[in-house]
Chains A and B, each alone.
Chain A
Amino acid sequence: MADPLVIAGATFSSRLIAGTARFPNQQVMLDALEASGAEMVTASIRRISLEGYSGSLIDLLGDKYRILPNTAGCVTARDAILTAELAREALNTNWVKLELIGDRELLYPDVEQLVHAADELVRKGFIVMPYCNEDPVSCQKLADVGCAAVMPLGSLIGSGMGIANPAAIELICSRSPVPVVLDAGIGTASDAAQAMELGCDAVMIDTAIAKSHDPVRMAAGMRAAVEGGRLARLAGRIPKQRFAEPSSPQLGLVGS
């Protein structure tokens, strides 16, 4: 496999991690996941409805994808840790996308609790991928306690505002000892390409695909953008300059 993404010893040929929420229906979700090329997809852990429940999301996804359960919505380390433990039992995986929300409106991470919960989950044997602030110090602390990757936000979850602070994301990428997965805020393909160009190892996308007018086509677009951005990053972009430089030869210009 050329240029694989490696997280905690697991290799992926796709650098796009896809969400499974907010799609218009299950068939569109399945088709979009297929088009995205994603090998890892996220799921939430929720109380079952005691009034009867429908078919399982996981049965639908089959064995095709590695499931990355999240702790979305948790506001205390205790609830996030219990959710991770329930996910491990339900899905037979020790991987978790750790989310600890400090503000229900902004869905911004609570870094203090996040580091604490990450530390405890790593000690319990989890492969922890925390959704975190786009802040090099937070990311370093999370790597220090043993997180397998960090998932800094581009901008607010579901906002589609792209990468609000590209310089910070680039700094995190240049210093992180673990893979950096840009999470949250991607609105369209250029945002995903930008994340990869800044040095991110992967991107996590849900709403930008699921809520687009044509999720299957957007998934294909995101896939191409992630691949394009990654190639550009590896190739090394030209430096920016404040003057023009003709690309056609000056010699032999007609009429001079």
Chain B
Amino acid sequence: MMQLRINGKDTELAAATVAELLAEQGIDPGARFLAVAINGSVVRRAEWQTALLAAGDSIEIVRPFQGG
């Protein structure tokens, strides 16, 4: 288990990669229009299986919403 900050919320997780993190959060990693950043840098979808997480990482998981 390690401490991660996911969308502004501190969370204890066992996930080692972005793909595992999404799965653990109940988010289908195959869902379209998702984007992920770790510590202010976008992680491309192609790297979700391999990008490793480290304790203390700040992760943003976003998608498009209504907007003006």
Give the interface of A toward B (CB within 8 A).
Answer: 19-23, 29, 42-48, 50, 52-53, 56-59, 67, 69-70, 72, 78, 82-83, 85-91, 157-158, 204, 206-207
Contact = CB atoms under 8 A, between A and B. Distances in A.
Contacts of B27: 48, 53
- Top 7 nearest A-B pairs (CB, nearest first) are A44-B67, A206-B68, A19-B68, A90-B35, A89-B35, A21-B66, A47-B7
Interface string B27-56: 100011111110010101100000000000
Q: Would you call the interface of chain A mostly helix, strand, loop, or mixed?
A: mixed
A207 B40 contact: no
A67 B66 CA distance: 11
B45 A48 contact: no
A62 to B, nearest CB: 12
Q: Bin the interface of chain B by size.
A: 20 to 34
Interface string B19-33: 000000111000111
Most buried by A among B26, B62, B64: B64
Interface of B: 6-9, 25-27, 31-37, 40, 42, 44-45, 60-68
A226 to B, nearest CB: 17
Contact of B62 (A20, A90, A204): A90
Contacts of A157: 68
B37 A82 contact: yes
Given A57-B66, A207-B68, A47 B34 contact: no
